[in-house]
C-alpha cells in the first residue's frame, strides 16, 4: 500500500470506544477479528471519513491483530478511504439502470456546478463527486449516496438544494 | 389481487415498529415453532413448501437446510445474506427498511430449525441507515423476549446480530460473505467443503437470502403445503420483483410465480407499461448477470408459449432464446437504450467488482470492459466481436465463484441477440459519438445501414 503523508489527528473518544467494544461483543472472543469491518466504519466516520496508517494501526491494536490484516481489508473494500476526501462526498450510482434515467448528465451538471472533475475535491474541501457501482436503488434513479443516506429521484433542482443545504451545514451525514 | 405473503402488511401504519408488528400477528411463527414443532418438523415444512433461494440461484431452501452438519456437535450458524448488490435488484432493502421485524422473525424461526444459537444478518455497507433500522429492531425484539437465553421458556437460546460490509459485490457470494464476516477480504472459498459443513469460523453454516428467510414465518404459520399451492409447478410461492428502467411504475412488487410477463409489464397493478410512448426493446429479468432478451422473446418463448414469471419459463430455450429469473431484478429498455453501452456498463461493473483471485476473471473482466469501451466510443475493430466472444468463453466456468459466469453471460447474450448493433458501432463510429446516440435516432431506424454493408 502506498504510504500517504497526510496527517490525521487521532481521537478515540470514550463514546467511540464504547461503540467499538459493543461491536466486538457481537462475536465470540476468539473471533474478535470479525468485528474489523464494522469497527473500521465507526473509526472512519469519527475521523473525517478516512483512514490513515496510524488509525489503522490503532484498530489492529484494539482487535489484537497484525496491522497488515487491517490494511489488506481496508484496501479491498471501496467504502474505506485511504486518503482525505471531501466532507460531502456525492457518490452517484453510475450502473446501467441509473444511466437509463440520466445519471451521467446529472453528474456532468454537478461537476460543472462545483467546478470539479469526477474524483476531485473542491478547494474548500467541502465537496467531492464520485461515480460508484450499483447502490441498489435502481427503481429510484438517478440517485446518490451522501454519508449514511441515499438521495433518490434526483434532478438538477434537488442537486442545487443539497449543495445549498450542505454549505449551510444542514445535512446530517451519519446516523449515530 | 394476487396473494401477498411478504408485503401483505406493508401498508399498515407503523408496521416498522415492534408494537404494531406484534399486534398484527407478528412473531406468531416463533411461538408456534418453539412451542409445538421440533426443529426437524420446521425443516420438513420448508421442504414441502418448495421454497427456493431468492438470492438468485433458486436452490431449494429446505434441502439446503437439511445439508447442515448436525453430527459434529460444533456450533451452527444461520447467516442472512443482505448484501444485495446485483444491478437491478433492490427488493431486500425494501423488506428490511419497511418491515424489519419480518426478517428478524424469520431469522429466529429459521435459526431454531437449524439449531443455530448465534446468527448474523450481513448487510451491505451502503445500506447503513437500514443497518441501524435492523439494530434497533433487534434490540426491540430482544427487550420483548424473542431473543437471548431461554426464549419463551423453551430452553432455546439465540443471539442475533447485524453485521455490515463495506462495498464489495463479491460478498454476496456465500463463501466470500463468510470470509468478510470473519474480518477478511471477500475472496470466495474453494468448495467443497461447503458452508453447511465448514462455514463461519469453520462451523456448519447456512447462508440464505433476506427474502427466503422472510417467507419462513408464513410457511410455519400456515403450512408448507399451502405455500406450495401458490405458484406454478416447481416455482412455488410468491417472489419480490424489483423493476427499473423505462417503465411507468418502477418499484418493488410481490407477484405470485406464474404471472405472465405481459401482465406484469402492462397491467396497472404492476409496471403499467412503458414510461413513454417508445417501444419496448429489451429486458433483463433477473439482475445484470442473466442474459438480456430482445422484444420478440419477452412475452413469448421461442416455441410461442406465453412467457411466465417462473424459474422454468424465463429460462425456457436455454441461453439461446431464454434467460433466468435470478434475483428478480427486472430492467426494461425502450428503443433509446444502446445495448452496447449497457453491456459496456455492466462489464465495467464486473471488472470493478472482481475480487482478483482467479486470473480468468481478474484479467478477462478488464479485457471485456476495455474492448466494449472502445466499441462504444467509436474505436472498435471488425474482429472485436469475435474477440469478446473468445474472452467471455475463457472466463465462463474457469473461476472459483460464479462472478466469472455472471460477467461473461451478459456479453454473450448481448452479442447473440443484438449483434447488428455492435457492427453498427464498429462501422459507423461518427454516428455514435454522443452518449445518447439512439435517443433521437433509434437503432431500428438505422439498422439498414449495417445490412447494406454486409452485402
SS3 B90: coil
pLDDT exceeding 90 applies to what percent of chain B?
98
SS3 B394: helix
In the prediction, which pLDDT does A175 show? 82
The average pLDDT across B335-339 equals: 97
* Fold observed for domain A14-74: Arc Repressor Mutant, subunit A (1.10.10)
Q: What angle do CA A109, A112, A117 make, to 5 degrees?
A: 110
Answer for the pair B314, B285: CB distance below 8 angstroms, yes or no. yes
Domain limits, chain A: 14-74, 88-167
In the prediction, which pLDDT does B1 show? 62
The average pLDDT across B257-278 equals: 96
Nearest to B64 by CA among B54, B401, B444, B73: B54
Distance of CA B131 to the CA centre of its chain: 19
Distance CA B298, CA B276 (A): 19
Best B93, B128, B253 member to test A by mutation, with max A CBs in 10 Å, is: B128
Count of residues making up chain B: 455
The average pLDDT across B16-33 equals: 98
Q: Residue A140 and residue B250: Cβ atoms within 8 Å?
A: yes
Contacts of A41 in chain B (CB under 8 A): 125, 128, 164, 166
pLDDT in tens, B347-369: 999 999 999 999 999 999 999 99
Q: What is the DSSP letter of B328?
A: -
State the pLDDT confidence band at B278, using cuts at 50, 70 and 90: very high
Q: Summarize chain A as % helix, strand, coil (round to 5).
A: 45, 10, 45
Cell of B431: 454516428
Long-range Cβ pairs for the range A9-18 (8 Å, 24+): A9/A47, A10/A47, A10/A52, A10/A54, A10/A55, A10/A58, A11/A46, A11/A47, A12/A43, A12/A58, A13/A46, A16/A42, A16/A43, A16/A46
Class of domain B18-228: alpha beta
DSSP string, B248-297: SS-EEEEEETT-BHHHHHHSTTTT-SBSSSPPEEEEESSSTTSPPEEGGG
Strands B329-334 and B280-284: antiparallel
State the pLDDT confidence band at A6, using cuts at 50, 70 and 90: confident
Whole-complex ipTM: 0.96
Contacts of A78 in chain B (CB under 8 A): 166-168
Structurally, at CATH architecture level, domain B232-334 sits in Roll (3.10)
* Entry pTM: 0.96
Question: Which residue of A lies nearest to B248 if distances are taken between CA atoms?
Answer: A139
Q: How close A36 comes to chain B (CA, Å)?
A: 5
Distance CA B61, CA B66 (A): 9
User: How many Cβ atoms are within 10 Å of B143's Cβ, its own excluded?
Assistant: 11
Q: Residue A138 and residue B251: Cβ atoms within 8 Å?
A: no
In the prediction, which pLDDT does B223 show? 97
In the prediction, which pLDDT does B440 show? 87
Is residue A147's pLDDT more than 70? yes
Is residue B448's pLDDT more than 70? yes
In the prediction, which pLDDT does B295 show? 96
Distance CA B180, CA B172 (A): 10
Compare CB distances from B129 to A28, A132, A148 and report the shortest one's residue: A148
The average pLDDT across B307-332 equals: 96
In the prediction, which pLDDT does A2 show? 53
The domains spanning B18-228 and B339-454 adopt the same CATH topology: no
Answer for the pair A146, B128: CB distance below 8 angstroms, yes or no. no
Q: Return the CATH number of the domain spanning residue range A88-167.
A: 3.40.30.10
B81 forms beta bridges with B122, B209
Compare CB distances from A73 to B128, B184, B242 and report the shortest one's residue: B184
Best A26, A66, A76 member to test B by mutation, with max B CBs in 10 Å, is: A76
> Which residues make Cβ contacts (< 8 Å) with residue B237, sequence separation at least 6?
B5, B49, B50, B51, B215, B227, B228, B230, B231, B256, B257
In the prediction, which pLDDT does A143 show? 97
Cell of A22: 459493543
What is the C-alpha end-to-end distance of chain A, expressed in Å? 31
Distance CA A151, CA A154 (A): 7
pLDDT in tens, A9-51: 999 999 999 999 999 999 999 999 999 999 999 999 999 999 9
pLDDT in tens, B75-124: 999 999 999 999 999 999 999 999 999 999 999 999 999 999 999 999 99
Q: Residue B87 and residue A96: Cβ atoms within 8 Å?
A: yes
pLDDT in tens, B377-419: 999 999 999 999 999 999 999 999 999 999 999 999 999 999 9
In the prediction, which pLDDT does A7 show? 87
pLDDT exceeding 90 applies to what percent of chain A?
95
State the pLDDT confidence band at A4, using cuts at 50, 70 and 90: low
Q: What is the DSSP letter of B189?
A: P
In the prediction, which pLDDT does A3 show? 55
Domain limits, chain B: 18-228, 232-334, 339-454
Domain B339-454 has CATH 1.10.1520.10: no
Is residue B253's pLDDT more than 70? yes
Q: What is the DSSP letter of B119?
A: E
pLDDT in tens, A87-131: 999 999 999 999 999 999 999 999 999 999 999 999 999 999 999
pLDDT in tens, B179-230: 999 999 999 999 999 999 999 999 999 999 999 999 999 999 999 999 999 9
Mean pLDDT of chain A: 95
Question: Which residue of A lies nearest to B250 if distances are taken between CA atoms?
Answer: A139
Contacts of B168 in chain A (CB under 8 A): 76-78
State the pLDDT confidence band at B73, using cuts at 50, 70 and 90: very high
Contacts of A38 in chain B (CB under 8 A): 163-164
Cell of B252: 418493488
Q: Residue B85 and residue A69: Cβ atoms within 8 Å?
A: no
Amino acid at each position: 500500500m502506498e504510504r500517504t503523508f497526510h496527517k490525521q489527528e487521532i481521537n478515540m473518544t470514550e463514546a467511540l470506544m464504547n461503540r467499538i467494544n459493543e461491536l466486538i461483543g457481537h462475536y465470540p472472543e476468539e473471533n474478535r477479528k470479525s468485528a474489523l469491518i464494522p469497527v473500521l466504519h465507526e473509526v472512519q466516520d469519527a475521523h473525517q471519513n478516512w483512514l490513515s496508517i496510524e488509525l489503522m494501526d490503532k484498530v489492529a491494536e484494539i482487535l489484537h491483530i497484525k496491522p497488515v490484516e487491517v490494511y489488506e481489508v481496508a484496501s479491498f473494500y471501496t467504502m474505506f478511504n485511504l486518503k482525505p476526501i471531501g466532507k460531502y462526498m456525492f457518490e452517484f450510482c453510475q450502473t446501467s439502470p441509473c444511466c437509463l434515467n440520466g445519471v451521467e448528465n446529472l453528474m456532468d451538471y454537478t461537476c460543472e456546478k462545483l467546478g470539479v472533475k469526477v474524483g476531485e475535491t473542491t478547494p474548500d474541501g467541502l465537496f467531492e463527486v464520485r461515480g460508484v457501482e450499483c447502490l441498489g436503488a435502481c427503481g429510484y434513479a438517478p440517485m446518490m449516496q451522501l454519508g449514511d443516506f441515499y438521495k433518490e429521484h434526483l434532478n438538477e433542482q434537488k442537486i442545487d438544494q443539497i449543495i445549498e443545504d450542505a454549505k449551510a451545514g444542514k445535512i446530517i451525514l451519519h446516523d449515530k | 389481487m394476487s396473494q401477498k405473503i411478504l408485503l401483505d402488511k406493508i401498508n399498515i401504519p407503523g408496521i416498522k415498529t415492534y408494537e404494531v408488528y406484534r399486534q398484527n400477528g407478528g412473531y406468531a411463527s416463533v411461538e408456534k415453532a418453539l412451542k409445538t414443532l421440533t426443529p426437524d418438523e420446521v425443516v420438513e415444512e420448508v421442504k414441502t413448501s418448495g421454497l427456493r433461494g431468492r438470492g438468485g440461484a433458486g436452490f431449494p431452501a429446505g434441502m439446503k437446510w437439511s445439508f447442515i452438519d448436525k453430527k459434529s456437535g460444533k456450533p451452527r450458524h444461520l447467516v442472512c445474506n443482505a448484501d444485495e448488490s446485483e444491478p437491478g435488484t433492490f427488493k431486500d432493502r425494501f423488506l428490511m427498511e419497511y418491515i424489519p421485524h419480518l426478517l428478524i422473525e424469520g431469522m429466529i424461526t429459521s435459526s431454531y430449525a437449524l439449531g443455530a444459537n448465534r446468527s448474523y444478518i450481513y448487510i451491505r455497507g451502503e445500506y447503513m441507515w437500514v443497518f441501524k433500522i435492523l439494530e434497533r429492531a433487534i434490540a426491540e425484539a430482544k427487550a420483548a423476549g424473542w431473543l437471548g437465553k431461554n426464549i419463551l421458556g423453551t430452553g432455546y437460546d439465540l443471539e442475533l446480530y447485524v453485521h455490515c460490509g463495506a462495498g464489495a459485490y463479491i460478498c454476496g457470494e456465500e463463501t466470500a460473505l463468510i470470509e468478510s464476516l470473519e474480518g477478511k477480504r471477500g475472496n470466495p472459498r474453494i468448495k467443497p467443503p461447503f458452508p453447511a459443513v465448514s462455514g463461519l469460523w469453520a462451523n456448519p453454516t447456512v447462508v440464505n437470502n433476506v427474502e427466503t428467510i422472510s417467507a419462513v414465518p408464513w410457511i410455519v404459520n400456515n403450512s408448507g403445503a399451502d405455500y406450495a399451492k401458490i405458484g406454478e409447478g416447481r416455482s412455488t410461492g410468491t417472489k419480490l420483483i424489483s423493476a427499473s428502467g423505462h417503465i411507468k411504475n418502477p418499484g418493488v412488487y410481490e407477484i405470485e410465480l406464474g404471472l405472465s410477463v405481459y401482465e406484469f409489464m402492462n397491467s396497472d397493478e404492476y409496471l403499467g407499461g412503458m414510461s413513454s410512448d417508445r417501444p419496448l426493446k429489451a429486458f433483463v429479468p433477473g439482475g445484470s448477470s442473466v442474459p438480456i432478451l430482445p422484444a420478440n422473446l419477452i412475452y413469448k418463448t421461442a416455441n410461442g408459449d406465453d412467457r411466465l414469471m417462473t424459474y422454468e419459463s424465463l429460462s425456457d430455450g436455454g441461453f439461446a432464446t431464454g434467460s433466468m429469473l435470478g434475483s428478480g431484478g427486472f430492467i426494461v429498455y425502450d428503443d433509446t437504450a444502446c445495448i452496447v453501452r449497457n453491456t459496456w456498463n455492466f462489464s465495467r461493473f464486473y471488472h470493478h467488482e472482481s475480487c482478483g483471485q482467479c486470473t480468468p476473471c481478474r484479467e478477462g473482466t478488464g479485457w471485456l470492459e476495455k474492448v466494449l469501451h472502445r466499441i462504444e466510443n467509436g474505436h472498435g475493430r471488425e474482429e472485436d466481436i469475435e474477440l469478446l466472444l473468445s474472452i467471455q468463453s475463457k472466463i465462463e466456468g474457469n473461476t472459483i465463484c460464479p462472478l466469472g459466469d455472471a460477467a461473461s453471460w451478459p456479453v454473450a447474450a448481448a452479442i447473440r441477440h443484438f449483434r447488428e448493433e455492435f457492427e453498427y458501432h464498429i462501422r459507423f463510429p461518427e454516428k455514435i459519438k454522443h452518449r445518447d446516440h439512439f435517443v433521437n435516432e433509434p437503432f431500428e431506424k438505422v439498422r439498414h445501414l449495417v445490412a447494406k454493408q454486409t452485402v
